[in-house]
Amino acid sequence: MLKAGMKAPDFTLPDKDGNLVRLSDFLGGKVVLYFYPRDNTPGCTRQACGFAAAYEDFRAAHVTVIGVSKDSAASHQKFADKYGLPFLLVSDPELQAIQAYDVWQEKKLYGKVSMGVVRTTYVIDENGVIEMVMPKVKPDTNAAEILEYLRGGKP
């Protein structure tokens, strides 16, 4: 797992509209980079809707929100349209960012072991350095915890 104080790995990935998004393009502002397992699943939908509900608060704080999963750009487009998600969703089917951020890990579900994305959120500062890491976040409270942290509280 990457730690606070480390340089955030740069990436270039397509968003839901097929536009290339490069993390380094956001230098000068904070970025909330959250990794989630899959579009349209219950937990991922609650997490995304939490970020959507708090989107204006993030914008007011000059913070960019970027969600990353291995779903396709077309899947992200449908997901964003269905739930009115106003922030960036980027597609990482080749696991470029997912592996660079060390969120592709062994998971156990009902005794079955498989590899998958472990729900993790990073706050990246204006200089491209990881400021905070939240591993294994709860989808229902992730956005609120990040906002509290950004306002000077503890997550």
Catalytic residue numbers, as ranges? 44
DSSP 129: B
Cβ neighbours of residue 133 closer than 8 Å, sequence gap 6 or more: 1, 2, 3, 4, 120, 121, 122
* C-beta separation of 150 from 123 below 8 A: yes
Residues whose CB is less than 8 angstroms from the CB of residue 94 and which lie 6 or more positions away in sequence, other chains included: none
Task: Return d(Cα 33, Cα 24) in angstroms, integer.
Answer: 12
